A and B are shown apart, each in its own frame.
Chain A
Amino acid sequence: MDKTNNLIALFHESTDTAEAIDELHTLGIDDEKMVVITGVPYPHGALGRQVEWLTLPYIVAVGALAGFLFGLFLAVITPHLYRLDIGGHPPVGFPPAAIIIFVFTMMATIVSTFLGVLWEMNFPRFGPAPYHKLVTAGHLAVLLEYPATLDSQVRQVLESHKAHHIGEPERMAL
């Protein structure tokens, strides 16, 4: 297996970053080998990267369905197990059941969205990870993994697009 290098480079602004990424692509470095870290969410496509496919909507849909079924169980099944006749109403009435089912569906939707996004982001993750604190101060960081044979070309591309702090990424405890 070829030896690979890891590198971090910081940029002052997004146009330089996007152009550098384009040139790194032409050098044969795949998107999966690059991580862009920013302090601001850039719009899709701004940095010339693929948009990742998410499973979050499916997690949410499954969560909502589970909440619906749980609400249905509470509002429609359990009143028959613990029968309580009040106000001349049947043990299970549509309006109260609709409220309970709705609320539990929404509660499960919300909770599954939260847990789903944490799961997708692999959070919490407190171990050391490549990072640079200047990202918070407005710099854009590009983390690269590339064959060692491309080292000089990669550095040349980065420097030509005004990258700074080019070097081995520091793994910081996050």
Chain B
Amino acid sequence: MSEVQPTQPEQDNHPDQMPEFEERLLLAERKDWEINEAVLQPMFKTGRGFWILVAILSAIVLWGFYAWGYLIYWGMGTAGINRPVYWGLFITTFVFWVGISHAGTMISAVLRLLKADWRRPITRGAEAMTAFALMMAGLYPLIHLGRVWKFYWMIPYPNNRFMWPNFQSPLMWDMVAIFTYLIGSSLYLYLALIPDMAMARDYTEGWRYKLYRVLALGWRGTEAEWHKLHRALGIFSVAIIPIFLSVHSIVSWDFAVTIQPRWHSTIFAPYFVIGAVYSGLSALASILIIVRRSMRLQEFLRSEHFDSLGKLVMVAGMAWVYFWFAGFIVEWYGNEPIVRELIHEEVSGPLAPFFYLQMGANIIPIILLVFKRVRTTPVLLLGTTLLVNVGMFTERALIVIGSLQRNDLPFNWGTYRPSWVEISIVAMTFAGFALLYTLFSRIIPFVPVWEIKEGRLRYTLRRIGRLLVPTAAEIE
């Protein structure tokens, strides 16, 4: 085959395809220092809008802490939870945040192992999302304890109370699994960050220099360091996948090992995991679109990345529908009285608005994502992925709250209405997540610069017929 020299595309022949190739060409032609500056410059710009956002989010977080303090002082009675709905908005949101955390590993670890090159610019955003979502999720078991200062009783150490954690309890599994995932995802995020900390160290001064210097740990970029980092990231990628699968499985077993109707299901673990992936990937797409615009990272987060992410969301959505249906049909066919009552409540009873919101908000996006225009138009993709998370939050609420309203003792049926304390605390975690992410995006390079440069090494442009096509070499 004759070798074709890369040339500029003929813009008049393929107007639809050219912008994408031009963007790639632009990045390919950028010098390393230009890429560094393109990533670092937006971090240093914190205008009035940024500080207003930080102030609003901080105010919500402070209000949430006040509500938590109120809950601690006056007791759990200030929350709306009561018999039979003893798990309310707190546990619903806990499950939601654990679900959101699943995107990071999916993008970073799974796609790294599959050598999917489009992952490169979005890995850090995804990993940060995992870590922050788990931090928010981890608050809920503490909040739900009521007497939060008794938390240390769950830590196994010899004590004069002769008390020991019950390792047969799903809540104990929960604690160790979430703690493990938080440690794993934080270390994974940090390890891949070290070379970029060194890059930022070389470009900054003042407090930023001090911070980046400490975080870079003395990184220089010797061949040996790169080799070891690659090996460690490879091990991380393999090790974190079973953890990622186990965490939401264990969360699902909090429900499934009880004999509560609609919870006692063998399909709950994979159903929860795929729901988490669906919700996490959607949240990632939403966040990337917002960050891309606010930090002007259009050169790095391009339509091809959103196209691929959109396809992944669509596939996860189809899998979610399959698992939901597989669980639903068995329950419907079994026709047990309490389950029948619960299904009736959802389909045509007082829970119907939530049920149809759940189904609509989860299924309509799948249909929309079939269209490339939706996947590659930021505003459309943002709307679609936000809709998914409305649907997934509603799904969690129906599972946790909806199911608990009916049980095997009809005299013990009841309803639930969240109190201002619960709503405030839930708002605190959403604002807290947004605040952490906002600050993170201005302190840490949002785009993994070294991974981008590594990916660039692999690419050449080849002419195939009348097209100029990026071609990747297998060098990892």
A→B interface (CB under 8 Å): 35-44, 46-47, 49, 51-52, 54, 56-57, 60, 74-75, 78-79, 81-82, 84, 86-87, 89, 93, 96-97, 99-100, 102-104, 106-107, 109-111, 113-114, 116-118, 120-121, 123-127, 129, 131, 133, 135-138, 174
Contacts and interface: CB of A to CB of B under 8 A. Distances in A.
13 contacts: A36-B223, A37-B220, A42-B223, A75-B167, A99-B246, A106-B239, A107-B180, A110-B184, A117-B229, A118-B217, A123-B217, A174-B213, A174-B218
B29 interface: no
B231 A136 contact: no
A58 B188 CA distance: 19
A79 B31 contact: no
A106 B213 contact: no
Contacts of B314: none
Given A37-B221, A41-B450, A103-B177, A86 B156 contact: no
Interface stretch (B14-22, B198-206, B341-349, B367-375): B198-206
A54 B231 contact: yes
Contacts of B475: 43, 46
Contacts of B246: 99, 102-103, 106
A24 B167 CA distance: 61
Contacts of B239: 106, 109-110, 113
Given A100-B176, A137-B31, A131 B220 contact: yes
A148 to B, nearest CB: 24
A111 B188 CA distance: 10
B472 interface: no
Contact of B450 (A37, A39, A54): A39
A116 B228 CA distance: 10
B202 A126 contact: no
B28 to A, nearest CB: 13
Contact of A35 (B31, B199, B222, B229): B222
* Shortest beta-carbon contacts, A-B, top 6: A138-B32, A82-B164, A125-B218, A117-B232, A137-B33, A41-B226
Contacts of A87: 168
Interface string B446-476: 0000100110010000000000000000011
Contacts of A124: 214, 217-218
Contacts of A75: 167
Contacts of A39: 32, 195, 199, 221, 450, 453
Given A103-B246, A110-B239, A117-B229, A137 B187 contact: no
A103 B176 contact: yes
A158 B428 CA distance: 60
Contact of B457 (A40, A121, A137, A174): A40
A100 B229 contact: no
A52 B224 contact: yes
A114 B233 CA distance: 9
B32 A89 contact: no
Nearest to B223: A36
B375 to A, nearest CB: 30
A97 B195 CA distance: 39
A89 B176 CA distance: 21
Nearest to A131: B220
B250 interface: yes
B45 to A, nearest CB: 21
B221 A54 contact: no
B162 A82 contact: yes
A145 B91 CA distance: 62
A107 B183 contact: yes
Contact of A74 (B32, B156, B201, B202): B156
A96 B169 CA distance: 8
Nearest to A60: B235
A112 B177 CA distance: 17
A133 B205 CA distance: 13
B222 A36 contact: yes
A27 B287 CA distance: 55
A138 B454 contact: no
Contacts of A127: 218
B173 interface: yes
B408 interface: no
A51 B232 CA distance: 15
A54 B230 CA distance: 12
